Homo-oligomer: A and B are copies of this chain.
Amino acid sequence: MTLISPSRRLRRTPFSDGVEAAGVKGYTVYNRMLLPTVFRSVEEDYRHLKEAVQIWDVSCERQVELRGPDATRLMQMLTPRDLRKMQIGQCYYVPIVDETGGMLNDPVAVKLAGDRWWISIADSDLLLWVKGLAYGFRLDVLVDEPDVSPLAVQGPKSDDLMADIFGDAVRDIRFFRFGVFSFLGHDLVIARSGYSKQGGFEIYVESTEIGMPLWNALMEAGRKYDVYAGCPNLIERIEGGLLSYGNDMTDENTPHECGLGKFCNTHSAIGCVGRDALLRVAHEGPVRQIRAIEIAGPAVPGCDRVWQVRSGEQLVGRITSATWSPDFNTNVAIGMVRMTHWDAGTELNVELPDGSRRAALVHEKFWN
């Protein structure tokens, strides 16, 4: 790994002081904001995430706020998921597509009111696409990035820790629903969600000034649960099949290729700008798709570029995320494989950057 040079452009967050005090050892950059990647070691963080509770600075999940009479119309223009039955208080994972059906982002949409939404974005300036559409269609809607920085509480002891701070009512929040809870006189949206399979919450921290007081309160109350600073964990997310925009998919991919067809209602998503382009693939299915792939041999190097996947010499796919899994004692990977070779049990081979080849196997499903 190489050093990252600090600058204002790589934005600090309301929790950066806490992250640094906890001894952050690595960062990535996500939406031009610092996102921690490792505290003690990726493997120690992984073990701890599965056993205790962690506080994650995921401020980089910036919000795009839509507000006004056309907010819901605009929201539906963005996604092939049918939003008509979505209730206030719900969160939806929504593929966002352009007019060709290419993925522009895979955020979580939060319906705050009938005329007010947050889109909690992955790593692309979705704000600019949304503003461009709103302007081009002369919609009656405000679109901007509010001062909201998500803080995630993840791990099996999340409910206990959160109840200590926000009261037992927080335990009743259902998956991908949110409630509004008070902290130091501020109302905060808290959803049961997060980028791990270990359970937990995301607190949408409105206004920078309460960032560190909340961080400190969680750290203090969490001592008895062995709380520690954490971050999205590479091993755990691949085991769980959590996709990463920019890694496992780009604007070259349709939602269906990404295995997100279940979040598309292409026929009924009337108004979605990518609907027409997606109708055929929604009906017939894609010709390549995301798969869980096991790679044989010792721990693979960091997957910092696409690795070609072949059947014999024939190019049939690509790996985009990979790492060694201690719990499953193998290399776990996410890749996209052509229809002819995507069946579970298909034996393939992967070319690593040093030119060596490794045996690989298409898995039925992800590990967690």
Contacts and interface: CB of A to CB of B under 8 A. Distances in A.
Contact of A135 (B7, B27, B99): B99
Interface string A267-279: 0000001000000
Interface stretch (A108-116, A165-173, A211-219, A299-307): A299-307
A265 interface: no
Nearest to A244: B9
Nearest to A273: B135
Contact of A26 (B5, B98, B244, B304): B5
B125 A124 contact: yes
Contacts of A306: 8
A128 B99 contact: no
A24 B10 contact: no
A133 B38 CA distance: 39
Contact of A137 (B9, B28, B136): B136
**Mostly helix, strand, loop or mixed at chain A's interface?**
loop
A129 interface: yes
A308 interface: no
Interface string A229-251: 00000000000000011110000
Given A131-B129, A133-B136, A3 B28 contact: no
Given A131-B132, A132-B130, A26 B8 contact: no
B133 A135 contact: yes
A184 interface: no
A365 to B, nearest CB: 22
Contacts of A7: 28, 244, 246-247, 302-304, 321
Nearest to A32: B246
B125 A8 contact: no
Contacts of A4: 1-4, 26-29
A6 interface: yes
A29 to B, nearest CB: 4
Given A28-B29, A128-B129, 7 more contacts: A1-B5, A3-B25, A9-B246, A124-B125, A125-B125, A125-B129, A131-B132
Interface of A: 1-10, 12, 24-29, 32, 37-38, 98-99, 104, 123-126, 128-133, 135-137, 244-247, 273, 302-306, 320-321
